[in-house]
Amino acid sequence: MKKDSSSNSARVVTLIPGDGIGPEVISAAVAVIEQTGVKIRWDEQLAGMAAFKRVGNPVPDALIKSLRQTGVALKGPLETRVGEGYRSINVYLRKTFNLYANLRPVHSFKGVHTPFRDVDLVVVRENTEDLYAGLEHQITPGVVESIKVITAKASRRIARFAFEYARREGRACVTAIHKANIMKLSDGLFLKCAREISSEFSEIRYEEQIVDAACMRLVTDPQSFDVLLLENLYGDIVSDLCAGLVGGLGVVPGANYGDKGAIFEAVHGTAPDIAGKGLANPIAAILSGAMLLEFLGHAHESRRIRLAVGDVLQSGATLTRDLGGSATTMQMTDAVIGAMHSSASSAADRA
């Protein structure tokens, strides 16, 4: 994948609508991004079940070629069947393009009612190994083995990513979350590497917590966390838990970063229960689009989207069903676009 470089000409970005609610929320994100005036040419590609049904392959060559050329993608969720079918295409893409760092910012929004206020934490998840290495086999009928792979190289790399992110964003603390009391070798190595890297960042507090205790603390005192550093499996589970703290899967964006590119996608899946009904909350996809714009060097436009989303949620007039309202995906998208324009015109009035 090519490294990002911002310029004034239209930037080509791979667009993967995905499965289930993917096409609905991705077209919302595209509509919002287009309102910023940033010139992007979308190279739309099929993946997942949509591609499997159309061309018999969930990862068509054209998709891989596009990703290699553009180095950056906005992606909808992809269906992965439970216990059968092809392996996760998400895992495949993250490994193929070495997108080792999964970043999920989790903030409370005014207007979204949850038991918690002022949550402001970031989940940093290692994306390429752990039990997601996909090394499973049956030893004998009734006995299977699944191998957890943890390497010093990947552990140091993700720890460095978390600390560099904390430094760049002015964050105070990184908490490494683990189960090294049981998995002394694998999680022990992950912790050893995190400690080693932490010593290079003396201004950032470093702490460690066992994953079960961390979950308890997350649902009782989430404001006490800042940056969470986790292996792949714990990160996957804990990020959905964190989404629940601030209003659910409909509002939390995400990104997968490597040294040479990035794929932006919401935390949520294909939501088959509401797919095709126009009920999906587009905010997580829209905010993932804002993260994409920031990555492409358009920080101002990214912020404009985030402010508009904040305004819409705070006003509470146009919320999708998951947030207690009755708006459709399209109505909420239009509300965000409207808020972008009204805040632009009020800024112009003030000027």
| 263/94 Cα distance (integer angstroms) | 8
Question: Tokens 């460690």 label which residue?
Answer: 208
Binding mask 303-322 for ligand NAI (x = CB under 6 A): -------------------x
268 binds ligand NAI (CB under 6 A): yes
| 14/296 Cα distance (integer angstroms) | 13
Q: Which is nearer to ligand NAI, 110 or 276 (CB)?
A: 276
What tokens does 1 get? 């994948």
Choice from 273, 349, 350, 351 touching ligand NAI (CB under 6 A): 273
Contact (CB, 8 A) for 256 and 127: yes
Choice from 93, 230, 284, 293 touching ligand NAI (CB under 6 A): 284
Q: Which stretch binds ligand NAI (CB under 6 A): 50-58, 178-186, 196-204, 266-274?
A: 266-274
| Number of residues lying near ligand NAI (CB under 6 A) | 21
Question: Tokens 């838990």 label which residue?
Answer: 241
77 binds ligand NAI (CB under 6 A): yes
Which residue in the shown chain puts its C-beta closest to ligand NAI? 269
43 binds ligand NAI (CB under 6 A): no
Q: Which residue from 123, 212, 223, 132 is spatially nearest to 175, judged by alpha carbons?
A: 123
Q: Which is nearer to ligand NAI, 90 or 98 (CB)?
A: 90
Q: Which is nearer to ligand NAI, 227 or 323 (CB)?
A: 323
Q: Which stretch binds ligand NAI (CB under 6 A): 77-85, 187-195, 199-207, 331-339?
A: 77-85
Q: Which residue from 237, 163, 166, 245 is spatially nearest to 200, judged by alpha carbons?
A: 163
Q: Which stretch binds ligand NAI (CB under 6 A): 39-47, 185-193, 208-216, 277-285?
A: 277-285
94 binds ligand NAI (CB under 6 A): no
270 binds ligand NAI (CB under 6 A): yes
301 binds ligand NAI (CB under 6 A): no
Output the CA torsion sign for 49, 51, 53, 58.
negative
84 binds ligand NAI (CB under 6 A): no
Nearest-approach distance from CB 252 to ligand NAI, in angstroms: 9
Nearest-approach distance from CB 243 to ligand NAI, in angstroms: 9
Nearest-approach distance from CB 123 to ligand NAI, in angstroms: 14
Q: Which stretch binds ligand NAI (CB under 6 A): 27-35, 72-80, 149-157, 182-190?
A: 72-80
Cα-Cα-Cα-Cα dihedral of 62, 64, 69, 71, to 10°?
A: 140
Q: Which is nearer to ligand NAI, 279 or 296 (CB)?
A: 279
| 265/262 Cα distance (integer angstroms) | 10
Site for ligand NAI in 111-140 (CB under 6 A): none
Output the CA torsion sign for 262, 266, 267, 269.
negative
227 binds ligand NAI (CB under 6 A): no
Binding mask 1-30 for ligand NAI (x = CB under 6 A): --------------------x---x-----
256 binds ligand NAI (CB under 6 A): no
Nearest-approach distance from CB 282 to ligand NAI, in angstroms: 7
User: Which residues of this chain interact with ligand NAI, rule CB under 6 A?
Assistant: 21, 25, 77-80, 90, 249-250, 265, 268-274, 280-281, 284, 322
